[in-house]
Amino acid sequence: MAAATICPTSAQSDVILRDQAWWRSAVGYQIYPASFCDSNGDGVGDIPGIIGKLDYLADLGVGFIWLSPVYASPMVDNGYDISDYREINPTFGAMADMDRLIAEARSRRIGIVMDLVVNHTSDQHAWFSSARSDRHSPYRDYYIWREQPPAKASAADIDAAFGGSAWSQDEQSGAWYFHLFAPQQPDLNWDNPALRAEIYAMMNWWLDKGVAGFRMDVIDLIGKQPEAGIVADGPRLHHYLREMHEATLTGRDALTVGETWSATPANAPLYSAPERHEVSMVFQFSHVTQFWDDKLGKWKPRPIDWPKLKSTFATWQHALHNCGWNALFWGNHDLPRAVSRYGEEGLHRVASAKALATVLHLMEGTPYIYQGEEIGMTNAGFTRIDQYRDVETLNFHRIQLADGVAEAEFLEGARANSRDNARTPMQWSSRPHADFTTGSPWIAVNRNYTHLNVERDRADPDGVFQRYQKLIALRRDHAIIRHGDFRLLAADHASLFAYERRLGAQRLLVVANLSHQAVMLPLAEIGTVQGRDLLTDRPVSTLADGGLGPFGVFAILSEDSISASG
């Protein structure tokens, strides 16, 4: 279905939602619990550690925390393999800690958004144990089975995301089960209504505890039909999402964000148009995957092409304006660090982190900050395979070397794009282990913690933290940031990211130079540069030399509506 068939009807409900939905003015903060703050010295972050940092997050100004999984798990995929949805992994704490986190966060007006991983469970989940031990178990049909492995190149012959076939033989029952990720992460069978009811009951249980919503892991995969070779965006996907909404979210003021690698500007409104009652918004990844290699994918990233990247953002801004809602992000626990991928780790680290934050946060949508991004943390810088912990990285290391890829070449790709780049511990101070733990960290702390840490950045009035704090406050205070129209300017410029937002007589002009070189502003394309710079709170009447320095950025608010067309 094309986006155009959805938008006109949604415009009205969108207007109503604008000033009601709390998540349209809030900024989210993602916590990867293992790497955030360790309170008991076992080298792994935990829930009490997070509670101890709530004042820090309140000071930053975030409205909600997306908490990566803290449920019971054998941790094959760091918690994305859940063995009990209603228990907390003891490494992270107890349920009492979780309840305290929800309450303590709420008292600071911060919601807790749980990670909902329901495409698959762990193979240690009681459902799977029962399913594999007994073909007549009521849980057998919670999973996806076939008697034979699929014939090579047949429709069902599907690859798993972490390498190898998506079908593995279960030695207990002799049959083959389906898993889109590791073999220890068997896929759930969403075609089974009993399974769906069980998931909805679990979601309600968490919502009744007071969580603010869910981030839905790979939710675009739940409508899969493996026998037909259909994985993402299956025919019953939206039916399931509407049913889920009806069973769990009706009458609640919750935020839901679907992780949807397959979402396109054309189908994204199906998920997030308010009157469809599916999810609040989706994470889409076209700005990420467009720079992956056709063959080697993320392991051979291409350099960023700014005109392409800008045009992708613009397409998404237009596709969901009055028609759905965008989730805005540079990074997460699966992606490289924003400043390393899109900015500059060296001389211009701070300036580039601030420029990237600014262009992202002043678009329409709900911005997400991945832990450490608010101080400009960088990629891990690992040079040896034994430094990595991530199942995907370790699997592909094995697979690609067996395929003849040179180790140095693989390590170069991993250094750019391994998921562990974002998983090194949060750098709180220059004290040992960056004050993340008093023990021995489960994954190495980035060596740059001695000068790159929270304590130091926050002491700098021109630091990265201060800019994020400012951007969060600006979104809250300015309707034009929340829902003004968007127009990309100087679209073909190789390094300037420039756009305007408009609401009534107001115009917000955002311009960032994302390069090492000073550039002249193409005034004919961007129009009048006059007004008040929201970032500095100073009036701007002329720009020195009409130029913008390396990674310079401004955001000028004016009432001038005439200069718009330049």
Phi and psi (nearest 5°) for 355?
A: -65, -45
Contact assessment for residue 417 and residue 301, using Cβ atoms and an 8 Å cutoff = yes
Site membership for ligand TEU, residue 181 (CB under 6 A): yes
* Among 117, 166, 375, 411, contact with ligand TEU (rule: CB under 6 A): 117
Site membership for ligand TEU, residue 80 (CB under 6 A): yes
Would you say 222 or 351 has its CB closer to ligand TEU? 222
CA dihedral (67, 71, 74, 77) in degrees, to 10, reads -30
Spatial distance between the Cα atoms of 207 and 214, rounded to a whole number of angstroms: 9
Phi and psi (nearest 5°) for 258?
A: -90, 140
Site membership for ligand TEU, residue 166 (CB under 6 A): no
* Among 53, 125, 140, 419, contact with ligand TEU (rule: CB under 6 A): 419
Query: Which of 425, 557, 368 lies closest to 479, judged by CA?
Result: 557
Spatial distance between the Cα atoms of 436 and 452, rounded to a whole number of angstroms: 13
Spatial distance between the Cα atoms of 423 and 419, rounded to a whole number of angstroms: 7
Would you say 80 or 554 has its CB closer to ligand TEU? 80
Would you say 260 or 558 has its CB closer to ligand TEU? 260
Would you say 14 or 81 has its CB closer to ligand TEU? 81
Q: Least distance in Å: CB of 70 to ligand TEU?
A: 14
Helix (H) / strand (E) containing 58: helix 54-60
Q: Least distance in Å: CB of 215 to ligand TEU?
A: 9
Q: Site size for ligand TEU, by CB under 6 A?
A: 14
Phi and psi (nearest 5°) for 85?
A: -70, -15
Spatial distance between the Cα atoms of 113 and 267, rounded to a whole number of angstroms: 24
Would you say 288 or 471 has its CB closer to ligand TEU? 288
DSSP assigned state of 40: S
Would you say 325 or 329 has its CB closer to ligand TEU? 329
Q: Least distance in Å: CB of 298 to ligand TEU?
A: 5
Would you say 161 or 488 has its CB closer to ligand TEU? 161
* Among 217, 345, 364, 374, contact with ligand TEU (rule: CB under 6 A): 217
Spatial distance between the Cα atoms of 34 and 30, rounded to a whole number of angstroms: 12
Would you say 334 or 420 has its CB closer to ligand TEU? 334
* Among 224, 298, 349, 354, contact with ligand TEU (rule: CB under 6 A): 298
Q: Copy the structure tokens of residue 87.
A: 């228990």
Contact assessment for residue 458 and residue 475, using Cβ atoms and an 8 Å cutoff = no
Q: Least distance in Å: CB of 261 to ligand TEU?
A: 6
Site membership for ligand TEU, residue 261 (CB under 6 A): yes
Task: Tell me whether strands 111-116 and 213-216 are parallel, antiparallel or unpaired.
Answer: parallel
Site membership for ligand TEU, residue 187 (CB under 6 A): no
CA dihedral (6, 12, 17, 23) in degrees, to 10, reads 30
> x/- binding map, residues 474-513, to ligand TEU, per CB under 6 A?
----------------------------------------
Helix 193-208 to helix 237-244 angle (10° resolution) is 40
Site membership for ligand TEU, residue 161 (CB under 6 A): yes
Spatial distance between the Cα atoms of 318 and 322, rounded to a whole number of angstroms: 9
Query: Which of 279, 245, 481 lies closest to 362, judged by CA?
Result: 481
Number of helices (H), then strands (E), in the chain: 18, 21
Query: Which of 84, 63, 70 lies closest to 35, judged by CA?
Result: 70
> Where in the sequence numbering do the catalytic residues fall?
217, 259
Q: Least distance in Å: CB of 73 to ligand TEU?
A: 11
Site membership for ligand TEU, residue 388 (CB under 6 A): no
> x/- binding map, residues 306-345, to ligand TEU, per CB under 6 A?
---------------------------xx-----------
Site membership for ligand TEU, residue 218 (CB under 6 A): yes
Q: Least distance in Å: CB of 162 to ligand TEU?
A: 7
Q: Which residues bind ligand TEU (CB under 6 A)?
A: 77, 80, 117, 161, 181, 217-218, 259, 261, 298, 333-334, 392, 419
